[in-house]
Each structure stands twice: as C-alpha cells, then as structure tokens.
A and B are shown apart, each in its own frame.
Chain A
Amino acid sequence: MFLPLSGLFLKSASMTWPQFLQAVADPRVVASYRLSFGASFIGAGINAVFGFIVAWVLVRYSFPGKRLVDALVDLPFALPTAVSGIALTAIYSENGWIGRFLTGLGVKAAFSPFGVVIALTFIGLPFVVRTLQPALHDLEVEIEEAAASLGATRWQTFRRVIFPAILPTLLTGFALAFARALGEYGSVVFISGNIPMRTEIAPLLIIMKLEQYDYAGATAIAVVMLAASFVLLLIINLLQWWSGRYRTAAMT
C-alpha cells in the first residue's frame, strides 16, 4: 500500500515544477477545484445543520418508525455511488419527481452546480449524524437539569450548555463529510452533467486525463487533492482530540 502511494508522488516528481504548475493552473482544472471545494463545503454545511437536527431527533425523541429511520441513515454508505447518482439525477432532473417543482420555481437542479451540491449532501449525511449520535447520547442530563434549576430557559440551556459541549463533535462531523465529498465521484458525475468549466469536479478531470493517457496531468491534479485530504485528516484528528478532551473533562 505504501509502495503505490509513493509511486504517485515519484511520478509527479518526475515532472518539473513549471510542468506541474502548468497542469494545475489550467483554467479548467482551477474551475474544477473551485467547484469541488465549494460544493463540498456547502454540502457539509447543509449536513451540519440538518444532520444535527436528525441526530438530535433520533437521540432525544421517540416517534413511530424511529428504528427504521435510524437504520436508513446509513443508506449513502451502503448504496453504491453509481446507483445514488442515477437515482438523484432521475428525481432532480427537469421532469423528475422533485425537479418538476424546482423547475416551476425557476431553479435548475440537475446538470448545474446546485446538482453537485445535492449529490455531495447526500453522500456526507451519515458522517454528521453518526458522529453526533454517540456524543449527544453521552451528554449528561444532570447538567441540563442544573441549568434549568438555575433559571435558564430551554433555549439558553441549549445555546450556552449543550451547543458548546457538542461543537467540537459537530465540527468533526462537518470535516468528515467535507473530506468524503471532496473525493466523491460516482454520485456526482451523473447529476452534474459534466459541462466544462461549470460542472466538472476534480476527480472527473483525473479520469478524463487518464483516458487521454495524460498520466502526468492526472497525477498533478491527484497530488493537490491528496494534499488537501491529508490536511483535512490532520484537522479531523485535532478536532477528535479536542472533543475527546471535552468529554473527559465533563466526566471528571
């Protein structure tokens, strides 16, 4: 496993710096980076908000069908990405079940950057929910009782007590969803329509370069993506350390 990875870097090292920069600074490549990072960020943001609500509802409330819903949250993990891709395209395209209404509102979902955001939101959802669930579960009710008995309203308790305690975990979930979305390929290529400069994601460009036997160009794009993944991995580890410290501090 280590051998292939070092091979990747060596291959790119056999390029000269100007060649590398030229491959990476190509306007089409830059546009794909912008879309990949931007759409992943927005998708992870949507998941942070709604994933929080989903996790909260699943941990704190009881309602019929809860166990089924809880199991289905993992669907984006279990469903092959190509299947999610064509399914999302089918419902969000112009005459799809949901796309029909969006078209009526003048919103183009499939084959636009918005479609990319939809796919990346789908793919990142379980990361936020599954990261938050154990943390919400471990929150001690006694602290909330203490806040309430000291006269705090429920909203104040949430804002001042629950939210700060859960924030590192929420950020971890956000970063995990973001990292996953960044590398995602299968679910995006169908719904995006792959319009040059507009809806091409970076992993797609890697595949296109490979199909043209431009190994160096493909590697250059991949190296930038890899570097981003490693930085994210570092951030995620720091966040986990932070939230872990929070939890041990809460226990002592």
Chain B
Amino acid sequence: MSEPTEPRTTEPQRRLTRATTEPLWVRCVLIVVAMVFLGLFLFVPLAAVFAQALAKGVQAYLDSFRDAEALAAIRLTLITAAIAVPLNLIFGLSAAWAIAKFNFYGKNILITLIDLPFAISPVISGLIYVLMFGMRGWFGPWLAEHDIKIIFAVPGIVLATIFVTLPFVARELIPLMQAQGTEEEEAARVLGAGGWEMFRRVTLRNIKWGLLYGIILCNARAMGEFGAVSVVSGHVRGETNTMTLHVEILYNEYNFVAAFAVASLLSILALVTLAAKSFVEWKFRHELTADRAPSI
C-alpha cells in the first residue's frame, strides 16, 4: 500500500493538494473512528485470547498442553493439514494450468465450481459429506459392508478440509497465469526444453510467489476450519478432535484456561499467517496480481 505523499513545493500546487484532501480535524476524527472500530472488533478480541489463556499464570497455561487429548488434537490438525495442503497444491496447479494455458469447453463452469466452497456455508459443506458417506447416505450401506468409516472418523475430517480449502491455491494462480500468457513457455519449447523442464524452469519460476501465497492461506484455513469439520467429526475425544473442536469442548466444559491456551496457539498461527502474507505482498507485489478483491 503506497502512502499518498504531499508534495510541498510551489504555492499553487500546495493549494491543489489541500483541495483534494480533508481538513486536518476531519482526517483526525476519521482516523480515530476507524481505529476505535478496529479496536473493538479486532484488537481487543485478539488480546483477550492471550489474556484469558494466561489468566491463571504461565504454569497453568503450559500445563494445558500436557494433556493427552490436547496433544492428540494438535496432532490430528497437523496431519489433516499435511494431507489437505499438498493435495490442493496439486489440484490448484493443474486447474490453474488448464484454465490459463488452454481453451476448452466448460471453462467458465470450472472457474465457478472452484469458487463454490467459498460461496456456501461450511456447515453445508460438511452436510454434503454426511449425505454421501454417512450411515444413511448414498455410499453409506456399501461402506458399512466393507467396514470403512469415513463420517465420524479421520477420513471425513480430511475430506471436508480438502473441500473447504480447495479454492485457495487455484484462485491465486488463475489470474496470475492468465496474465502471463503462454509466450514464455512457447519460447522455452522453441529453445528445446522438454515438458517437465519447461514447467520447472519457466512456469514454476514465474508463479512461485503466487503459489506460496496460496499455500499460506490454504494452510491457515486447513488448520482453522471449524464448521465443516464439526459436522463430520463426531467429536470423539482423543480420536476425531481437531484443535478447533477441542477448543469448543474445553470451552463448553468451562475449562477456560485450557480452551484459550489451545486458542492461543491457533491465534499465533493466524498472526504468523498474516505476517507471511504481508511479507509476500510487500516484497513481491509486482509479481502477484494487482486487484486482490476478496471473495466469499
């Protein structure tokens, strides 16, 4: 974000600058209003997480992580992200590749479909999987026969997470690869590069920062997803509880210090995500696409 500078050179120019900004008191009032609003809705809740986690001292905070169920929840969250993020990386790359570099029938439908998980409620995303793989779902009886458990088990959690985080890598790469076109790849081909070499030395080099950006966001969501996972997990303690679900259970048991302790880990993850994201944006903004309007 570049700051509007106020060049103070000649008298007419100064008057012009004044004409396109507000009087000082208006500026101050607006800044204060904006900060109070952000304070009430962003900064205070963030501070509250850490304050509540440390409410009974550092020792109580650290003890929360010695609990076997908390550790199991952390492990499950890490496993889920470790499966979901690479899969979505591969999917995102191939989808973006197909959309940006080739023309084919139904391309617009594919773009819309990729965005779909953003558009529907996470609860409905979870519901879809229950309807498909649950006991009374489409494949339910078949799965029960073969003794495969998806809903209320780890595979369901992984599937729901993959679904919810599906768009992140792809929607970051599509505009980027579309803007870059196919000329450089064609040049590489003409110069004798093979398919894989072309991909690795030209395409991947061009999109690496956009790719990293997508992975950062995808990972944050994979570890922090709650609604969709909550529907498919079944909340079996120590087995199908992710970190966010564990936070919910602890909180509902009025075990506030432990709940906020796990929440503080997730908050640190969120802050690291924001820092990494800002760093990539700031350092490589010219290599990312300019208009980053959010989507649901």
Bind each other? yes
Q: Which residues of B contact A172 (CB under 8 A)?
A: 293
Within the complex, the shortest CB–CB distance from B42 to chain A, in Å, comes to 5
Q: Would you list 5 pairs from A and B whose C-beta atoms are within 8 A, ordered by A residue?
A: A50-B33, A53-B37, A80-B263, A80-B266, A88-B45
CA distance A179 to B129 in the complex (A): 22
Are the C-beta atoms of A79 and B270 separated by less than 8 Å? yes
Residue of B nearest to A182 (CB): B121
Within the complex, the shortest CB–CB distance from A84 to chain B, in Å, comes to 6
Contact of A78 among B20, B122, B123, B273 (CB under 8 A): B273
- Whether B34 is near chain A, meaning CB under 8 Å from some CB there, is yes
Q: Which residues of B contact A195 (CB under 8 A)?
A: none
Contact of B263 among A2, A83, A127 (CB under 8 A): A83
Interface size range on B against A: 35 or more
Are the C-beta atoms of B263 and A86 separated by less than 8 Å? yes
- Whether B202 is near chain A, meaning CB under 8 Å from some CB there, is no
- Whether B214 is near chain A, meaning CB under 8 Å from some CB there, is no
Q: Which residues of A contact B117 (CB under 8 A)?
A: 1
Q: Which residues of B contact A118 (CB under 8 A)?
A: 41
Main secondary structure on A side of the interface with B: helix
Q: Which residues of A contact B98 (CB under 8 A)?
A: none
Contact of A71 among B16, B266, B275, B294 (CB under 8 A): B275
Interface size range on A against B: 35 or more
Interface centre among B44, B132, B245 (most CB of A within 10 A): B44
Given contacts A80-B223, A186-B227, contact A7 B121 (CB under 8 A): no
Main secondary structure on B side of the interface with A: helix
- Whether B224 is near chain A, meaning CB under 8 Å from some CB there, is yes
Contact of B274 among A75, A83, A87, A229 (CB under 8 A): A75
Are the C-beta atoms of B294 and A131 separated by less than 8 Å? yes
User: Which one of B46-54, B142-150, B188-196 contacts A?
Assistant: B46-54
Are the C-beta atoms of B3 and A62 separated by less than 8 Å? yes
CA distance A236 to B295 in the complex (A): 10
Are the C-beta atoms of A222 and B127 separated by less than 8 Å? yes
Question: A69-94: contact bitstring with B at CB < 8 Å (1 yes, 0 no)?
Answer: 11111111111111110111011000
Are the C-beta atoms of B127 and A50 separated by less than 8 Å? no
Given contacts A82-B263, A182-B121, A185-B121, contact A87 B49 (CB under 8 A): yes
Where the two chains meet, the residues of B that have a C-beta atom closer than 8 Å to any C-beta of A are: 1, 3-4, 16, 19-23, 27, 30-31, 33-35, 37-38, 40-46, 48-49, 52, 113, 116-117, 119-124, 127-132, 134, 136-138, 163, 166, 217, 220, 223-227, 230-231, 243-245, 247-248, 251, 256, 259-260, 263, 266-267, 270-271, 273-275, 277-278, 290-296
Question: Given A81-B227, A87-B49, list of 20 further CB < 8 A pairs?
Answer: A4-B131, A54-B38, A61-B31, A69-B38, A75-B274, A78-B220, A80-B224, A81-B226, A82-B244, A86-B247, A86-B263, A88-B45, A122-B45, A144-B20, A145-B16, A183-B123, A185-B123, A186-B230, A215-B134, A222-B124
Are the C-beta atoms of A50 and B16 separated by less than 8 Å? no
CA distance A91 to B23 in the complex (A): 36
Are the C-beta atoms of B45 and A91 separated by less than 8 Å? yes
CA distance A67 to B267 in the complex (A): 20
Are the C-beta atoms of B124 and A179 separated by less than 8 Å? no
Are the C-beta atoms of A72 and B163 separated by less than 8 Å? no
Within the complex, the shortest CB–CB distance from A227 to chain B, in Å, comes to 11
- Whether A45 is near chain B, meaning CB under 8 Å from some CB there, is no
Q: Which residues of B contact A60 (CB under 8 A)?
A: 4, 21
Q: Which residues of A contact B33 (CB under 8 A)?
A: 50, 53
Within the complex, the shortest CB–CB distance from A240 to chain B, in Å, comes to 8
